[in-house]
C-alpha cells in the first residue's frame, strides 16, 4: 500500500472533485432529457446550452419550460466550475503522442501518483485490473478477459486513450496486432484486450519512447 505525500493526495483530490462536477452536470442533463422524453420529445447532448436551448424554447409548450429552466440552471452552475478545474489541469498537462489526450494523461498521472513506483508491467497491470483472468481445470489452462480488479477510476480512464489511439495511431504495434479483432465489432473480448494493450507506463518511466512505437 502506498501512502502519497500531501501534494500528490491534493492533486488526486482535484481529479475526484472534477469527477463529481461532471457527474452533477450529467445528472441534470439526463433529468432534462428524461422529462422531455416523457412528453415524447427526444433530445441529445447539451440541450441546455446556447443555441440548443434557444431552439428548444421555441417548440416547447409554455407549461414545460419552467421545470426545464430549473434543470438548466443547475447544469449552468456546474459547467463553469467544471471548465475551470479542467483548464487548471490542462495548464499542467502533457501528452506523449497524438490521440492519448492531454487531460486524460493528466488525470491518469494524478490517479497513479507516481509511475516510477512500479517495477514491472505486472505491477502496473494489477493496479488497473488489466491482468487476464485464468480458467484452469486439470491439465487445461486458458486465459480469459481482464480481471477488472484494482483501481476502477484508472481503468475507466485508460479506455479513452485506448480508443482514440485506435483512430489516430494506426501504426501503433498493439493496434496492428489486434486489427482483425477491432474490425470485427462482434468480437467484444478481442476489443477489450486491444483497449488494454496501451502501455503508458513504459513511456512515462523512460523505458521506451513514443517514436519507438511509431507514435506521431
Distance set, CA 96 to CA 66, 80, 138, 169, 200 (Å): 47, 28, 44, 12, 8
Is residue 1 pLDDT above 90, yes or no? Answer: no
What interhelical angle do 152-168 and 188-196 show, nearest 10?
100
Is residue 125 pLDDT above 90, yes or no? Answer: no
- Note the pLDDT of residue 130: 78
- Mean pLDDT for the stretch of residues 190-206: 70
- The DSSP output letter for 96 is S
Highest mean pLDDT among 83-97, 123-137, 169-183: 83-97
Grid cell 495511431 is found at 169
- Note the pLDDT of residue 188: 58
pTM attached to this predicted model: 0.83
Is residue 65 pLDDT above 60, yes or no? Answer: yes
- Note the pLDDT of residue 189: 57
- Note the pLDDT of residue 76: 95
pLDDT tens-digit readout, 130-139: 777 888 887 7
Give the mean pLDDT of the chain. 87
- Note the pLDDT of residue 64: 93
Beta pairing, strands 132-137 & 140-146: antiparallel
Q: What would the DSSP string read from start to end of 40-71?
A: T----S-TTSHHHHHHHHHHS-GGGHHHHHHH
pLDDT tens-digit readout, 37-50: 999 999 988 999 99
- Per the model's pLDDT, the better-predicted residue between 16 and 1 turns out to be 16
Residue ranges in the chain assigned as alpha helix (H): 6-38, 50-59, 65-90, 102-112, 121-128, 152-168, 173-177, 179-183, 188-196, 200-204
Band of the pLDDT at 143, cuts 50, 70, 90? Answer: confident
pLDDT tens-digit readout, 144-178: 777 888 888 888 888 888 888 888 888 888 888 87
Band of the pLDDT at 83, cuts 50, 70, 90? Answer: very high
- Note the pLDDT of residue 195: 57
- Say how far apart CA 208 and CA 201 lie, in whole Å: 9
- Note the pLDDT of residue 192: 56
Positive or negative CA dihedral for 144, 150, 153, 155? negative
Is residue 197 pLDDT above 80, yes or no? Answer: no
Amino acid at each position: 500500500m502506498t501512502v502519497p505525500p500531501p501534494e500528490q493526495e491534493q492533486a488526486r483530490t482535484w481529479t475526484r472533485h472534477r469527477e463529481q462536477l461532471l457527474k452533477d452536470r450529467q445528472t441534470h442533463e439526463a433529468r432534462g432529457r428524461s422529462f422531455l422524453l416523457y412528453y415524447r420529445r427526444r433530445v441529445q447532448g447539451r440541450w441546455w446550452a446556447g443555441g440548443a436551448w434557444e431552439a428548444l424554447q421555441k417548440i416547447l409548450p409554455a407549461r414545460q419550460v419552467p421545470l426545464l429552466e430549473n434543470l438548466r440552471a443547475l447544469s449552468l452552475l456546474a459547467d463553469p466550475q467544471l471548465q475551470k478545474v479542467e483548464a487548471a489541469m490542462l495548464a499542467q498537462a502533457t501528452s506523449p503522442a497524438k490521440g492519448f489526450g492531454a487531460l486524460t494523461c493528466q488525470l491518469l498521472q494524478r490517479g497513479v501518483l507516481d509511475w516510477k513506483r512500479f517495477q514491472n508491467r505486472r505491477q502496473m497491470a494489477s493496479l488497473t485490473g488489466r491482468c487476464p483472468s485464468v480458467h484452469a481445470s486439470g491439465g487445461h489452462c486458458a486465459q480469459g478477459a481482464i480481471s477488472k480488479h484494482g483501481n476502477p477510476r484508472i481503468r475507466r480512464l485508460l479506455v479513452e486513450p485506448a480508443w482514440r489511439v485506435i483512430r489516430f495511431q494506426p501504426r501503433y504495434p498493439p493496434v496492428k496486432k489486434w486489427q482483425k479483432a477491432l474490425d470485427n465489432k462482434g468480437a467484444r473480448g478481442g476489443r477489450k484486450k486491444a483497449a488494454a494493450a496501451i502501455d503508458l507506463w513504459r513511456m512515462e518511466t523512460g523505458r521506451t519512447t513514443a517514436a519507438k512505437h511509431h507514435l506521431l
